[in-house]
């Protein structure tokens, strides 16, 4: 690939971040400057959203490039405080090229309780996202939080941060962003369904079939 096409690809990835930021912000998932998004450029560098700018109002110039040590490349601004969490995902998962962190309200309710999100309510969540476990509490932006996330990054494509929000991973930004929307969607369905008296959950045997479908889809994407 020529350096010109490398620059074009980097600009395109940056533009994808700007557009995804607006998409999540419009849906109320990143209020008040919350949330952060990154994409992997190559084995040395990522692009990540800046600190202190609303995801709904970023420009391409605001996106920050950092190396795998978290150091800013060039004079491109200050990266999100959660940069270590993002780098943890790329270091531990070769198949992951995008990470999204947001505070969507329905899913964040679950992050503030001892309950898990019930993924046995709809087929799509098991096929496209899988289980959504909860990482124990650590302060936002801390090295401790990034370290606590390690085992969840290895085993899951989405997880809750206790009393905080949600992280989703994907082979590209579209998949990571869609997974964030799906986690919020199932959380909303779970909370709304409590108003009804006869919720029917997917049984264990059918859940295994759905997990197999997800495993098959992941393998297809790798191959
Ligand atoms: Zn957060």
The model's pLDDT over 64-89, given as tens digits with 9 standing for 90+, comes to: 999 999 999 987 789 999 999 999 99
C-alpha distances in angstroms, 70 versus 48, 62, 91, 164?
A: 10, 17, 12, 22
Q: Which residue out of 82, 124, 150, 184 is catalytically annotated?
A: 82
220 noted as active-site residue: no
State the DSSP string of 126-155.
HHHT----EEPP--TT-HHHHHHTHHHHHH
* CATH code assigned at 7: 3.40.225.10
Q: How far apart are CA 146 and CA 211, in angstroms?
A: 27
Looking at residue 82, what is its pLDDT?
97
Looking at residue 75, what is its pLDDT?
72
Q: How many distinct structural domains can be found in the chain? A: 1
The answer to which of 6-10, 123-127, 131-135, 215-219 has the lowest mean pLDDT is: 215-219
**Residues by chain with Cβ below 5 Å of ion ligand 1:** 165
Looking at residue 199, what is its pLDDT?
87
Please determine, for residue 1, whether its predicted confidence score (pLDDT) is greater than 80: no
Ligand 1 center from residue 152 Cα (angstroms): 16
| Average pLDDT of every residue of the chain | 94
Ligand 1 center from residue 24 Cα (angstroms): 13
Main-chain dihedrals φ then ψ at residue 96, nearest 5 degrees:
-95, 130
Token look-up 């600190």 returns 51
Q: How far apart are CA 8 and CA 14, in angstroms?
A: 10
Ligand 1 center from residue 196 Cα (angstroms): 32
Please determine, for residue 13, whether its predicted confidence score (pLDDT) is greater than 80: yes
CA angle 54, 42, 179 (to 5 degrees): 50
What would the pLDDT profile of 204-214 be if each residue is shown by its tens digit?
Answer: 999 999 888 88
Residues spanned by the domain of 206:
3-222
How are beta strands 158-161 and 134-135 bridged, if at all?
parallel
Beta bridge partner(s), residue 47: 39, 65
Entry field: residues in the chain: 223
Looking at residue 211, what is its pLDDT?
87
pLDDT band at 223 (very low <50, low <70, confident <90, very high): very low
HSE toward the beta carbon, residue 123, CA cutoff 13 A: 6
What would the pLDDT profile of 86-124 be if each residue is shown by its tens digit?
Answer: 999 999 999 999 999 999 999 999 999 999 999 999 989
């Amino acid at each position: 690939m020529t350096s010109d096409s490398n620059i074009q690809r980097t600009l395109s990835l940056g533009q994808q971040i700007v557009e995804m930021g607006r998409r999540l912000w419009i849906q109320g998932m990143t209020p008040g400057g919350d949330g952060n998004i990154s994409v992997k450029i190559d084995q040395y560098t990522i692009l990540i959203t800046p600190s202190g700018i609303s995801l709904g109002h970023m420009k391409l110039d605001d996106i920050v490039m950092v190396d795998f040590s978290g150091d800013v490349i060039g004079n491109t601004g200050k990266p999100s405080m959660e940069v270590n969490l993002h780098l943890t995902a790329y270091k531990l998962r070769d198949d992951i090229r995008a990470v999204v962190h947001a505070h969507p309200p329905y899913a964040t309710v679950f992050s503030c309780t001892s309950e898990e999100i019930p993924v046995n309510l709809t087929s799509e969540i098991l096929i496209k996202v899988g289980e959504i476990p909860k990482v124990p509490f650590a302060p936002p932006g801390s090295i401790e939080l990034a370290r606590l996330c390690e085992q969840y990054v290895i085993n899951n494509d989405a997880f809750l941060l206790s009393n905080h929000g949600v992280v989703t991973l994907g082979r590209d930004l579209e998949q990571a962003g869609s997974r964030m929307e799906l986690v919020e969607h199932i959380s909303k369905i779970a909370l709304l369904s409590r108003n009804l008296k006869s919720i029917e959950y997917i049984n264990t045997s059918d859940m295994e079939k759905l997990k197999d479908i997800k495993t098959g889809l992941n393998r297809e994407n790798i191959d």
